[in-house]
Chains A and B, each alone.
Chain A
Amino acid sequence: MYDFDYKRPSTLDEAASLINEDSVLLAGGHTLLPTLKQRLAQPETLVDLSAIDSLRGVCPDGDKLAIGAMTTHAEVANKATIPALASLAGGIGDPQVRNRGTIGGSVANNDPAADYPAAVVGLNAVVNTNKRAISADDFFVDLFETALDEGEIITNVTFPTPDAAAYMKFDNPASRYAIVGVMVAKTSGGVRVAVTGAGPCVFRQSEMEAALSGDFSPRALENINVSADGLNSDIHASAEYRANLIKVLAKRAVAQING
């Protein structure tokens, strides 16, 4: 790793005041530190958010669940009252990754194979920052790119409780990253189907949403032809394979919801 300065502010305001174009925010560090080790980034300062208590915790708030940005995957897996979200968090990486990695870090990084983007988009969550609230559909922009402005800090993610939801993932057996992951949710605003791992960024499968709105059964997805255009192709899976997985996993998620 190159040299850097390290700051651990105890308030959000102090953290915001330390951010500039040469600094980066440090959450759980499970993406940032490997990136720094490979010398793929050279920040002057790391601003560690771990001492800001208000950024941590799983808080039921009426029909919503607010999860602090610095809450670890393990805490979400153990405490989230939305079972599909708890199960998604419990399937991230390995126990040590879950003990350190955070929801805010994962969401801000927007790795194309990360699990949380599927939960945020599928459950129609709101990403709250120190400046504003950003809806899930506006938050994830492209590969590793989000709607966050430079220096904007995620404070929490608010999930409306769905009527029912399920997340199905075909994971890479070594990393547990999603080769494809699909969140299907019945929400107050209708059926949502969010897909991660398959493309450069999480996306909604609107054709499936429409089909499931009329007939919420695996059968309703049978005749949908998922195109491989624009999907990822790598040593783990071809675009065509991922396209097929989207349908397979969506059907499994619907089947699980229907019990």
Chain B
Amino acid sequence: MPTVSMTVNGKQVSADVEPNTLLVTFIRENLRLTGTHVGCDTSQCGACVVHVDGNSAKSCTMLAVQAEGAEITTIEGLAKGSDLHPMQKSFQENHGLQCGFCTTGMIMTAVDMVNKQDNLDDASIRKGLEGNICRCTGYQNIVKSVKAAAQEMEG
């Protein structure tokens, strides 16, 4: 079994994994970081989005071995202690979630979007969220949350 090493939320981790282990399985089952979800398992819903070297990626469509040497950030890596990340706080304040299953992926995608684009309007937020599906039909408040957080993050 190959050994894979990567940095997850700032911590160096290493484990022996079968080559066909998905990154999301490694994150959830080896590292017990269960904030990253498996929704569709077919690269469509975005519940499994994490950051790989600063870019959002669907961790159900990556092998753990492909992340060798990478810097991974999961939802658990956003808050500083009990201080929530501005995007997390904004989802809370704007009722950007109902059941919450898609939320961690939404937030990881949204943080990547705000890091890379300035002056986000509703249309570009919706385009940026194309890879994330919410089945509670909560998009209105998700867009509102991202917009408010973007203003906060861009300061």
Contact = CB atoms under 8 A, between A and B. Distances in A.
Nearest to B68: A8
Contact of A1 (B20, B43, B56, B113): B20
A53 interface: no
Interface string A67-101: 00000001000000000000000000111110110
Interface in B116-133: 128, 130-132
B19 interface: yes
A44 to B, nearest CB: 11
A37 B42 contact: yes
A174 B132 CA distance: 11
Contacts, number: 72
A30 B20 contact: no
A64 interface: no
Contact of B61 (A2, A8, A34): A34
Contacts of A29: 61-63, 66
A33 B63 contact: yes
B7 to A, nearest CB: 17
Contacts of B18: 3
Nearest to B58: A96
Interface residues of B, number: 28
A204 interface: no
A99 B61 contact: no
Contacts of B63: 6, 29, 33, 46
Contacts of B112: 95
B96 interface: no
Instruction: Please indicate which of the listed interface residues B42, B46, B130 has the most CB atoms of chain A within 10 Å of its own CB.
Output: B130
Contacts of B61: 29-30, 33-34, 96, 100
A48 interface: yes
A117 B15 CA distance: 40
A4 interface: yes
B65 interface: yes
Given A2-B20, A29-B61, A74-B55, A96 B66 contact: no
Nearest to A36: B20
B27 interface: no
A2 B20 CA distance: 7
Contact of B41 (A5, A37, A175): A37
A96 B19 contact: no
Interface in A170-227: 174-176
A100 B57 contact: yes
Contact of A6 (B49, B58, B65): B65
Contact of B57 (A34, A36, A46, A96): A96
B2 interface: yes
A50 interface: yes
Contacts of A174: 44
26 contacts: A3-B20, A4-B19, A5-B19, A6-B65, A8-B68, A29-B61, A29-B66, A33-B43, A33-B62, A34-B61, A37-B41, A94-B46, A94-B131, A94-B132, A95-B56, A95-B112, A95-B128, A96-B43, A96-B49, A96-B58, A96-B109, A96-B131, A97-B43, A100-B57, A100-B62, A174-B44
Interface of B: 2, 18-20, 41-44, 46, 49, 52, 55-58, 61-63, 65-66, 68, 109, 112-113, 128, 130-132
Given A3-B18, A95-B112, A95-B128, 9 more contacts: A2-B20, A6-B63, A29-B61, A33-B43, A46-B63, A95-B56, A96-B109, A99-B52, A99-B55
The list of the 6 closest CB pairs from A to B, nearest first, reads A94-B131, A6-B19, A99-B55, A1-B20, A94-B130, A96-B131
